[in-house]
Amino acid sequence: MAVYEYTALDKGGKNLSGIIDADSAVAARQKLRSSGVYPVEVKETSAKPKEAPAGSVSVTSVFKRVKPGELSATTRQLATLLGAGITLVAALDALVSQMGNPLLKRTIAQVKESVNEGNSLAHSLGQHPKVFSPIYINMVRAGEASGSLDLVLERLAEFSENQQALRARFRAALAYPVFMFFIGTLILFFLITYVIPNITRVFEEMHQALPVSTILLMGVSNFLKSFWWLVLLGLVGLILLLRQLKRTSKGRYVWDELKLRFPVIGSINTKMAMARFGRTLGSLLQNGVPVLTALQIVRNIVNNVHIADVIDHAEEEIQAGKSLARTLSQSHWFPPIPVQMIAVGEQSGELENMLNKIADMYEREVESQAMALTSMLEPVMILLMGSAVAFIVISILLPIFEMNQMVR
């Protein structure tokens, strides 16, 4: 059987669209007519998504994507259905019928069709790498091998929800300072390019000597008023240049090192990498994924090439018979505390639990440090904005005071 996308009309003449599985396009049309729907167009959906040309931007990838929350909810629903004793194909069919996201609905339908043809769930999910991550596919593969697919899917949902909650808390903590920065910048730009020229025009007409601060303010105002587009173009060009440099091997190494060494931010990035390392590796090992395979997956999601290199080296050392903790201790990118906890976990046989404790510890520290950082950013930004406004006010008042003294 194949999966078909259709557009149709119901009995009231209302447009409908969706997907349906059938042996052929003719069978799909007959199936739609038997349900009281009149098909307008029926076309087969390929089992494997088409790759977009290099350098192109796909409309589907921009506007029709699968959000992490939708995927974790679907995973939890599938785990519940399988735990209730429903067969995998029937469970996938039930998910398709209630799916809201068109892309996810089409993907699950294709996965169901692949499973119905005799392929494993992990193999079927692997046909959609843009929707299902390597950790997702490998944990499902381990669950199928151990016969505990429902438990693995439950843990996958929890893992995804924890990661989303951490990212949401971090973004929420940064939302107010970022909002203040942009609003403050817009206000200052308005003052300098519109208000200041109208006020300083009086000083220019009087042809008197002006204070240095007033001359500087007038110069900045004239430049921004005339060449604001050049400043904007320069900022955009700088951002594009940095993005291009990050795509090169050397540029990525330099950028990732700055991310780890930069004051305050470097500490947060290190702790986030440790939390991601512990949570992912612990979840994979808990679900029966071999340690070498798990390390290969973890290196791709730590989001830092320096830490990924350490994991690569650890993989080689483990193959040579050395312990994970001993290998990680040789790197200055891994703090001593998680290395010691991993050593204790290896000695006690509780490595998975210890890795999850490392993740819990660093997730809490990231959250508290992010909150402390944002609480410091607010007064600092207010001080900077106040200083800028004070400089503008003083630069305007000084010539006025001088004029009053001349009048007396």
220 and 348 inside one domain:
yes
Q: Where are the beta strands (DSSP E) in 264-372?
A: none
Kindly report the pTM of this predicted structure: 0.66
Residues 152 and 180 in one domain: no
Statement to judge: residues 177 and 141 lie in one domain: no
- Asked if residue 61 belongs to a domain, the reply is no
> Is 152 in the same domain as 176?
no
User: What integer pLDDT is reported at residue 112 of this predicted model?
Assistant: 86
Tell me: do 124 and 190 sit in the same domain.
no
Q: Are residues 297 and 381 in the same domain?
A: yes
Burial 288-312 (b: 16+ CB within 10 A, else e): bbeeeebbbbbbebbebbbbbebbe
CATH code for position 390: 1.20.81.30
Alpha helices by DSSP H, 84-191: 88-98, 102-116, 121-126, 134-146, 149-190
Task: Return per-residue pLDDT of the chain as tens, 408 residues.
Answer: 566 777 777 776 677 676 776 767 777 777 777 777 777 777 776 544 444 443 444 444 444 677 888 888 888 998 898 888 888 888 888 888 777 788 888 888 888 888 888 888 988 898 888 888 887 888 788 778 777 788 888 878 887 887 788 778 777 777 877 888 888 888 888 888 888 888 877 777 777 677 888 888 888 888 888 888 898 999 999 999 988 888 888 998 999 999 899 888 888 889 988 988 988 888 888 877 888 888 888 887 787 899 989 999 999 999 988 889 999 998 889 999 999 999 999 999 899 999 999 999 998 888 888 788 877 887 888 888 888 888 888 888 888 877 766 655
Q: How many CB atoms lie within 10 A of CB 402?
A: 16
Q: Which of 133, 160, 187 is the last residue of a domain?
A: 160
The pLDDT value recorded for residue 54 is 38
- 236 and 345: one domain? yes
Q: Give me 111's structure tokens.
A: 């996965």
Same domain, 265 and 366: yes
Residues 151 and 179 in one domain: no
* One domain for residues 152 and 183: no
**Whether 140 and 233 share a structural domain:** no
> What strands, in cross-sheet order, belong to the sheet with 15-22?
15-22, 2-9, 38-44
Rounded to whole angstroms, the Cα distance separating 215 from 203 reads 10
pLDDT of residue 56: 40
The count of domains in the chain is 3
Provide the residue range defining the domain that includes 205.
Answer: 172-408
